[in-house]
Amino acid sequence: MTNDKWLWSGGLGLMTLALATGLVLIIALALGWNSPRPTRPPDWAAPGLPLTLEATSDEAVVTLMGRPSSDFTLEVEAVPLSGPDFNGYGLTYRAQDSAHYYAFAVDSDGYYAVLRVAGDEETALVDWQQFPHVRRGQQANRLRVACAGATCRFYVNDEYAATVEDGTWLAGDVGLWVRGFGDGGVVVQFVSVRVWGKR
């Protein structure tokens, strides 16, 4: 009987510990313990937003923000307003000019990609692929890239998507990107653009 009481007490104690640990983890996650978002206010926020950009079929439109950065976190929130779901919109970073840049983009059909554009040459660092955290249709998406040296990490709606290492450009401007594909043009409204510098 004593052994049974000891087993019962030990089992009850372990169950209580497991429940308490689970509760602490849930509270920590709810408070942002695992969030990749910077906890401090941004060092810079783009003025004059929201800004609406339009790209015609088979056209890419780049708007640079005049905010050169090397190691940083950049976050952009955008909403597609019209056009087919087969489109592209997002952010550019480490841009040398409007024809030489990296782009991190999503489309209204649930895909994302990371591209390096050098004039007419486009290289997919991450090919267009479906990602369950991309909101489809005319819903807002928040894209974030965090770069340190040649390594950049990418998030869609606070969910980790990919890590890319590419040292072609280690500094440059940040900006906005909209692309229409063969099915027609697209109109996208950019709601916020924020930058955190490395500290």
Do the beta carbons of residue 141 and residue 47 sit within 8 Å? no
**Count of Cβ atoms closer than 10 Å to residue 114 Cβ:** 24
**Grouped pLDDT means (10 residues each) for the chain, 199 residues:** 67 67 53 66 96 96 97 98 95 99 98 98 98 98 98 98 99 98 91 94
Q: How many CB atoms lie within 10 A of CB 94?
A: 24
Residues 6+ positions from 157 with CB-CB distance below 8 Å: 133, 134, 135, 141, 142
Rg (CA), the chain: 22
Token output for 176: 């906005």
The whole-number pLDDT of residue 32 equals: 44
- Beta-carbon contacts of 65 under 8 Å, excluding residues fewer than 6 positions away, are 46, 173, 174, 175, 176, 193
Distance from the Cα of residue 4 to its chain's centroid? 54
